[in-house]
A and B are shown apart, each in its own frame.
Chain A
């Protein structure tokens, strides 16, 4: 019983704590993060997904199309396709999703995760930069979601990406930069439930 009480207090404190309480607005220009926006001509990644105790692996291809939209296709190693999403300038299109994944919440979560990594919200009108001990938080609101890009104080290096609300972090993403502004690896971790995505760039030397 005491244990349950302790857990409840911890959960309550966690829920009430704010990830962004210490942020203080600055005059810095948030658009400095545009230089970190990944440029995927075509990139192939080995992919590991861990979701609520289940493990899934496969290959994920990210390609910028001639109309500058970005397509992301995920299939397992044997070629079985899980999803095919298109990220246009102002729209999002589901070209295909496997029946068992065809749930509004799943698609919405994946869309927002990839939008965070693709840095699709850098033109948000009410963007601003805030300061915190770790560096600068470049903040791009999109409705109730806020996309945070955290850099060093000089905006010379991107430390991590986050999505959350004004108070609470929901997702964190890390990018390991690679050649030609294409990330070598990408990690996405959710804080509201167990859902991790790990991408590692694959050199297509078998082709």
Chain B
């Protein structure tokens, strides 16, 4: 019965028989990923409005907790997560904040870094179910924290079977709206200068 429910929920996916083994394999692969350089396409889907807002940009990740997301189309926006600091530059202003002083950035920061590092599944912040099709795993993360539940119904990570790399992150809101980030042209363990993540 649960299989039928799962299939109805995620078309083409079925539950993974040995989720524990998957988690071990995924954690092993994540340990070996020290850096990621990728393009991304982000889609914000507003369900009731039947509208989709698409943006594109470049993404860099370097262990342990350095992330740079640079939106280039159709607007310019730069976000650097460097440990506990966040730098944001929009078309008019630049802003530095400590995630410690900003709950919103703290939550986004943690989700982003935990998903990319593959730690979200072990963090205890989510209950996790894993599904698979022929080429990908789908890890469904349901928040445990009540405040997080208000923001996200579930967060799905799409993981490529051959590399155990995260190829997409879907953030589903309780309203039915969602944000999907697809990572394309991914390069693993390339040499990324620290300057990319420097917050001046």
Contacts and interface: CB of A to CB of B under 8 A. Distances in A.
Interface string B48-71: 110111111000000000000101
Interface string A179-207: 00000000000000000001000111111
Nearest to A82: B104
B50 to A, nearest CB: 9
A78 interface: yes
Given A44-B53, A63-B51, A206-B73, A99 B95 contact: no
Contacts of A198: 92
Nearest to B175: A96
B28 interface: no
B90 to A, nearest CB: 4
B177 interface: yes
Contacts of A100: 103-104
A57 B53 contact: no
A202 B42 CA distance: 16
Nearest to B78: A77
A57 B91 contact: yes
B75 interface: yes
A73 B46 contact: yes
Given A48-B90, A48-B92, A205 B175 contact: no
Interface residues of A, number: 31
Nearest to B180: A79
Contacts of B151: 80
Q: Identify whether the interface residues of A are mostly helix, strand, loop, or mixed.
A: strand
A2 to B, nearest CB: 36
A68 B176 CA distance: 22
B44 interface: yes
Given A80-B104, A207-B54, A57 B42 contact: no
Contacts of B92: 48, 55, 57, 198
A48 B94 CA distance: 12
B75 A202 contact: yes
A202 B51 CA distance: 15
A73 B175 CA distance: 12
Given A42-B51, A206-B54, A206-B56, A59 B75 contact: yes
Interface residues of B, number: 35
A71 interface: yes
Contact of B49 (A46, A71, A206): A71
B48 A95 contact: yes
Contacts of A59: 44, 53, 75
Contacts of A73: 46, 49
B74 A205 contact: yes
Interface in B95-119: 95, 103-104, 108
Given A57-B91, A57-B92, A79 B77 contact: no
A61 B51 contact: yes
B93 interface: yes
Residue in A42, A59, A80, A206 whose Cβ sees the most chain B Cβ within 10 Å: A206
Given A48-B92, A78-B79, 8 more contacts: A55-B95, A57-B88, A63-B51, A77-B71, A78-B69, A78-B179, A80-B179, A204-B74
5 contacts: A61-B46, A61-B49, A77-B77, A77-B79, A78-B79
Interface of A: 42, 44, 46, 48, 55, 57, 59, 61, 63, 65, 71, 73, 75, 77-81, 84, 95-96, 98-100, 198, 202-207
Complex A-B, nearest 7 residue pairs according to Cβ-Cβ distance, in ascending order: A79-B179, A57-B90, A206-B73, A77-B77, A206-B74, A207-B54, A79-B44
